[in-house]
Amino acid sequence: MAGRQTRSAYFFVVFPLGILLVFTLVPTVVGLGLSFFQWNGDGPPSFVGFRNFQALFRDAKFWPALRNTMVYGLVSVPPAVLLAFLLAVAVHARWFRGKALVRTLFFMPTIISVVAIGFVWRWLLDDQAGLLNYGLRLVGVDDPPNWLQDGYWPFFWIIVISVWQKVGFCLVLYLAALAGINETLYEAAEVDGASRVAVLRHITWPQAAPMTAFLMVTGVISALMVFDLVYVVTGSTAGSISESDYTNVLNLFIFRQFGYSRFGYASAIGVVIFLLTVVATAAQLGLFAERGGKGAAR
């Protein structure tokens, strides 16, 4: 730290920190507090204690949204991470041809707007003219489901699309992690005559474990806050949010309550999501730490 005490430092940090304070820090703190008030944005908020939460737990729309959000978080992230790991191991191998091309292809869904992604999948899954149902009819399935309408099928496809969309991002990060593994570990394994599977299990996977932990934790956090994909795939509009119990998620539920200007109630749902992310993160970090500890003992 060669710096001197300087006044221009404050000039450099005041505006960025002001933005973070006003648009992130204060809304979070106030949001936690607002969950104990009833408020439509005009006039003073009135304190209601835990009544927002009591009302929430009696709300018939809450439990399906909570269940779907948790299912989405649990089911969409691990397959994407695992698939990305296996692909990264293959692509990282020295004999693999076309690394750059593969990375480019896998990257496409990462940079593309969820709106476009939702559209193209809705087109592929269209009941009448969609490619999937055409293919199914071709192989003799006469009455394929209407994927975007029937029961849990839309939610199933939302999970599939989300896995498809996440794989590339995880792949790129895994490639960076694999490039950082110490070569001498592999050389030692080779000297010992370890099998390919043994090397994968006992060197590559544990060495990449910090990245796996990172991808799982951040993946689950963002999955618990899912909004865009569900909104687009269910054909919602700002005026009419799809509230089907088959596809509803907590963030869509907040958005709906926000539309009614029930700011206290909406904040209470925000607190529920927040607590879910805290519990999920703590549970996963505990899990990975325990595994890591055992690995070290072995």
Partner 1 sequence: MSSLRRPSLPVRAAVHLGVYLVAATMLAPFLWMLLTSLKTDQEAAQAPTLGNLLPAVWQWRNYPRAVEAADLHLYYANSTVVAVVTTVLAVAHNALAGFAFAKMRFAGRRVLFWMTLATMMLPMQCFFIFAYLISRWLGFIDNWQALIVPFLASGFGVFYMRQAVSAVPDALLEAGRIDGMDDWDLFWTIVRPMAWPAITALAIFSFMNSWNNFFWPLIVIDSIGEKTLPLAVADLASGQYMQSWPETMAAATILILPLIVIFFFCQRAFVRGVALTGIKE
Q: How far is the CB of 209 from partner 1 (least distance, A)?
A: 15
Question: Taking Cα atoms as reference points, which of 73, 102, 108 lies closest to residue 89?
Answer: 102
Nearest CB to partner 1, comparing residues 59 and 126: 126
CA distances from 289 to 214, 233, 294 (A): 12, 37, 9
Structural tokens at position 210? 């910090």
Q: How far is the CB of 76 from partner 1 (least distance, A)?
A: 16
Angle at which helices 209-224 and 153-179 pack, to 10 degrees? 150
CA–CA separation, 231 and 256 (whole Å): 11
Nearest CB to partner 1, comparing residues 86 and 293: 86
Structural tokens at position 293? 């500890």
Nearest CB to partner 1, comparing residues 47 and 134: 134
Nearest CB to partner 1, comparing residues 42 and 297: 42
Contact 272, 56 (CB under 8 A): yes
Q: What is the CA radius of gyration of the chain?
A: 24
Q: How far is the CB of 297 from partner 1 (least distance, A)?
A: 25
Structural tokens at position 180? 């950082």
Q: How far is the CB of 18 from partner 1 (least distance, A)?
A: 8
DSSP-derived letter for residue 39 is: -
Q: How far is the CB of 32 from partner 1 (least distance, A)?
A: 8
Nearest CB to partner 1, comparing residues 97 and 294: 97
Nearest CB to partner 1, comparing residues 48 and 273: 273
Strands 37-38 and 46-47: antiparallel
CA distances from 209 to 165, 166, 214, 290 (A): 22, 18, 8, 12
Q: How far is the CB of 58 from partner 1 (least distance, A)?
A: 21
Q: How far is the CB of 83 from partner 1 (least distance, A)?
A: 8
Q: One-letter amino acid identity for 175?
A: L
